[in-house]
Structure 1
Amino acid sequence: MNNDSSSRIAARLQEWIAGAPPGSRLPSTRSLVAEYQASPVTVQKALQALTAHGLIESRPGVGTFVRAARTARPSDYGWQTAALGSPKTPPRSASTTMRSTTNDAIAFHSGYPDRDLLPERLVRAALARASRSDAALSRPPAAGLPEMQSWFAHELAASTPAGATPPAPSDVVVLPGSQSGLSSIFRALVGHGQPLLIESPTYWGAILAAGHAGVRVVPVPSGTDGPDPEELARAFEESGARTFYAQPNYANPTGAQWPARRREQVLDVVRANGAFLVEDDWAHDFGISTASEPIAARDDSGHVIYLRSLTKSVSPAIRVAAVIARGPARERILAERAAESMYVSGLLQAAALDVVTQPGWQTHLRGLRHQLQSRRDLLVTSLRELAPQAHIDRVPKGGLNLWARLPDGTDLEQLTRTCEDAGVIIAAGTEWFPAEPEGPFIRLTYAGPNPGAFREGARILGRALRGASR
């Protein structure tokens, strides 16, 4: 007998159960085998299915009975209102970039690269090896596996110019993803109620982390070449802030990469104010026509707190990142991390380290550069032809996203609904602004699935924009 037979028996028994009072005893398995001319295994599968649906219950040594129906009483959580009080920070809904979609949707919204852009073979092999190693059963040090610390330090040291002191492995604290790192950094270095300068627009997760840390966000306008050094100096002076969060390389969402001169100017302003620069190098592995040039490589006096993640470039399932900090700042961040999660899974660290030290990793990155370039250029060309109302000020030299300005007066909420109804998911730019948006923007990823649908997605977006303008 097969599963169809067990389904047939379950359906017949369900009809019988519907007319039987609660507590009625079902015939024995032996009787059911004889009645339906089925094997005991087939009958057991039918009974298991009915049990899973809550229709019957088995009492060992007694028999199987029709389960009494229980009317669910609505739960009363009103007491929690008084116990919790008002939230310290206003609740913020999950980012559009974290939404899951159906396979047939044209996804321009995601914050993670498509699976085709990941080193899948390397990751699977690394996880298999890590599961057989001591890392699967041992507790790693709070600051991370020494080999993982050394790798992150070496990566930054490779960009350090002659005459500067490269970071040491002991400067590295391994993190379970950069998002938790941002929360720890803001709590350790800024503190509740204190000001934090932050680029505008900027990564929505940094805005979220700042809100949960209770810091006071002070936006600093930032364009295709980064923030104006004079505006930054004025913001430091007027706010009294001692920390500035920024993304100098392939910023999310704009894709901006600061020119060399701008990086030097910003670092000079930070030093002059005795402040910290939290440098989020999230897209280090996603350079296309340029390479990431960390400001931290030019600072050996502890002003730059450097953050780098492997989650997007290795695998979303391997949440491993690191912060590189020097002096007392590093100790404060480590103390915050210990209170938050004690340590990062040694298994994930071992797997991440395995991937990035394989010869195939560099081969993968070279191929990834070409894949991102072709996807980026395809989407840019499609938008300029089919959705010219979505203006791209500058094509990014790396990263995963395009930042498009829309005509003034565009109703973003209506636009996103119209596109979604047509099967295209876009992310409205409002969530990347720490204060009021300076205009209507959307962020579109060229690292999403099915690049063959990019032109169709651009056509739908262009049609929706034309309808919005009318």
Structure 2
Amino acid sequence: MDYRFSDAIANTPKSFIREILKLTQSDNIISFAGGLPNSALFPVDAIRHAAEHVLSRDGRNTLQYSTTEGHAPLRAWIAERYARHGMNVAPEQVLITNGSQQALDLLGKVFLNPGDAVALENPSYLGAIQAFRLFRPQFHSATLSTDGIDVAELQAVMRQHQCRFFYGIPNFQNPTGLSYSATTRQQLATMLQQEQQLMIEDDPYGALRFSGSSLPPVAALAPEQVVMLGSFSKVCAPGMRLGWMVAPAPVLAQLAVAKQAADLHSGYFSQRVLYQYLQDNNLDEHISQISHAYQQQQQAMVAALQQHLPPGIAHTTPEGGMFLWLTLPKHWSATDLFHIAVRHGVAFVPGEPFFADASQRHHLRMSYCTVDVATIHTGVQRLAAAMAEYAAQLPQHSKETQ
């Protein structure tokens, strides 16, 4: 049978991380590769009690079809939580999705035609690149630094290419762990308003702050110019597959139509169980527990990197979230290093797929969330040994230019 697949799917590569994870399943490999939350911190008993409560009190309705926009009390809970952080959101502006990954797909369906331009951070979240690539856009990037996106460069990019939207992650960005400063957020909001441009503000990690001061989302500063994405995956449990979008009313109406065509609605049972869990438990206390654990793991990784890695390798030091980013000497290849590292019993994600044009090969992403403190130290020692082997294999002229 000659299966005639679409051009869109034929030109969309497999998830790079999912393919890498297949290579790191051995018990002998310490993996810093996966972007998974720590399953030891999942509120298993509390969610079980919530499920039992919902099924025993209203089981028949809970197992029925529901509305596309999502469980109304859950949407109201999300809106009220934004209000407590100074952002004016009505429940009618909230759309429940199957994690924030579905939100990216719906946004592509609503906004993108083949050949349209999309602005990204450089580097950007590879899951977003993959989701948008199905719609065959042209990607254009602006520089991401320790203060966040270069707003002047982004403005020039969006003007030149008439971008449909800018996709960014202002809090503890995946893959770098970097966050936008207060100044950058205000400059970006002002630019979006002046240019009448749209931003997709992805915020799956913002609640996981363990140092520094919280800053307002860009959506709070320019609400008509921003669609905001959130997720329960990092603060509760990813297996429930529940996220949300907050959007201006005209945008939300179109997103709801796209979602009706995709799946009618997100799992109603999961929504009801999650809402019951939120009613019975203090989510902020649970988030505080997660953040404290991640802080200890991040500090252990940073200390180990500073102790064991050779000179000439830089790393970010995030104030929250799940990732940090290593920058290798420019003539190194993180992909080549990866294969040596696996032989040494440690894994990471090479940085190349986080660049829409795959232009930079000398970066890598590491996650500290699922590895205990002692194992982090051992894993970084293995990484240092892999780097020493890799450096020894480089041509002599490359070593001299390090």
Instruction: Decide: shared fold, TM above 0.5.
Output: yes
Cα contact 2:316–2:326 (8 A) shared by 1? no
Determine if the alignment matches structure 1 residue 102 to structure 2 residue 102: no
Q: CA deviation at 1:325?
A: 0.5
Cα contact 2:232–2:242 (8 A) shared by 1? yes
Q: Equivalents in 2 of 1:238, 1:380: separation in Å? A: 40
- Of the three residues 110, 113, 118, the one matched with 1:188 is 110
Structure 2 partner of 1:137: 63
Where do residues 25-40 of structure 1 align in structure 2 (5 Å cutoff)? Answer: none
Q: CA deviation at 1:125?
A: 2.4
- Distance of aligned partners of 1:91 and 1:394 in 2 relative to their CA distance in 1, 3 Å threshold: closer
Instruction: Write the letter of the residue equivalent to 1:188.
Output: V
> What whole-Å deviation, never above 9, does each CA across 1:21-49 have from its counterpart, x for those lacking one?
xxxxxxxxxxxxxxxxxxxxxxxxxxxxx
**Unaligned 5+ residue runs, structure 1?**
1-76
Determine if the alignment matches structure 1 residue 443 to structure 2 residue 365: yes
> What whole-Å deviation, never above 9, does each CA across 1:136-163 have from its counterpart, x for those lacking one?
32222110000111111112222226xx
Cα contact 1:249–1:293 (8 A) shared by 2? no
Instruction: Write the letter of the residue equivalent to 1:294.
Output: P
- Of the three residues 124, 144, 147, the one matched with 2:48 is 124
SS in 2 for 1:313: coil
SS in 2 for 1:357: helix
Determine if the alignment matches structure 1 residue 405 to structure 2 residue 331: no
Q: CA deviation at 1:438?
A: 3.4
Q: CA deviation at 1:333?
A: 1.1
Equivalent residue pairs, number: 386
SS in 2 for 1:363: helix
Instruction: Write the letter of the residue equivalent to 1:424.
Output: V
Q: Equivalents in 2 of 1:136, 1:147: separation in Å? A: 13
SS in 2 for 1:419: helix
Q: Which has the higher contact order (CA 8 A, sep 6+)?
A: 2
Where do residues 40-79 of structure 1 align in structure 2 (5 Å cutoff)? Answer: 77=1, 79=2
TM-score, normalising length: structure 1: 0.78
Structure 1 partner of 2:72: 146
Q: CA deviation at 1:390?
A: 7.4
> What whole-Å deviation, never above 9, does each CA across 1:263-322 have from its counterpart, x for those lacking one?
01011111112111100001022111143632212234x211000011122112110000
SS in 2 for 1:403: strand
Where do residues 313-324 of structure 1 align in structure 2 (5 Å cutoff)? Answer: 313-324=235-246
Determine if the alignment matches structure 1 residue 307 to structure 2 residue 233: no
Structure 2 partner of 1:206: 128
Q: CA deviation at 1:192?
A: 3.1
Structure 1 partner of 2:216: 293
SS in 2 for 1:213: coil
Q: Equivalents in 1 of 2:166, 2:215: separation in Å? A: 19
Cα contact 1:97–1:111 (8 A) shared by 2? no
- Distance of aligned partners of 1:149 and 1:360 in 2 relative to their CA distance in 1, 3 Å threshold: closer
Structure 2 partner of 1:432: 354
Q: Equivalents in 1 of 2:271, 2:8: separation in Å? A: 35
Q: Equivalents in 1 of 2:101, 2:380: separation in Å? A: 31
Cα contact 2:231–2:242 (8 A) shared by 1? yes
Q: CA deviation at 1:191?
A: 3.1
Structure 1 partner of 2:283: 361
SS in 2 for 1:397: coil
- Of the three residues 155, 169, 182, the one matched with 1:233 is 155
Cα contact 2:188–2:218 (8 A) shared by 1? no
Instruction: Write the letter of the residue equivalent to 1:283.
Output: Y
TM-score, normalising length: structure 2: 0.91
Q: CA deviation at 1:198?
A: 1.1
- Distance of aligned partners of 1:358 and 1:194 in 2 relative to their CA distance in 1, 3 Å threshold: same
Structure 1 partner of 2:398: none
Cα contact 1:427–1:444 (8 A) shared by 2? yes
Where do residues 224-263 of structure 1 align in structure 2 (5 Å cutoff)? Answer: 224-263=146-185
Q: Equivalents in 2 of 1:356, 1:390: separation in Å? A: 46
- Distance of aligned partners of 1:147 and 1:231 in 2 relative to their CA distance in 1, 3 Å threshold: same
Q: Equivalents in 2 of 1:271, 1:338: separation in Å? A: 30
RMSD value, Cα: 1.9
Q: CA deviation at 1:262?
A: 0.5
Q: Equivalents in 2 of 1:137, 1:118: separation in Å? A: 24
Cα contact 2:182–2:215 (8 A) shared by 1? no
SS in 2 for 1:244: strand
- Distance of aligned partners of 1:115 and 1:390 in 2 relative to their CA distance in 1, 3 Å threshold: farther
Structure 2 partner of 1:71: none
Cα contact 1:391–1:405 (8 A) shared by 2? yes
Q: CA deviation at 1:448?
A: 1.5
% same residue: 22
- Distance of aligned partners of 1:85 and 1:367 in 2 relative to their CA distance in 1, 3 Å threshold: closer
- Distance of aligned partners of 1:127 and 1:425 in 2 relative to their CA distance in 1, 3 Å threshold: farther
SS in 2 for 1:438: coil
Structure 2 partner of 1:112: 36
**Unaligned 5+ residue runs, structure 2?**
393-402
- Of the three residues 205, 217, 220, the one matched with 2:142 is 220
Q: CA deviation at 1:337?
A: 1.1
- Of the three residues 176, 199, 207, the one matched with 2:98 is 176
Bigger Rg, which one: 1
Structure 2 partner of 1:34: none
Structure 2 partner of 1:422: 344
Q: Equivalents in 1 of 2:179, 2:358: separation in Å? A: 23
Determine if the alignment matches structure 1 residue 457 to structure 2 residue 383: no
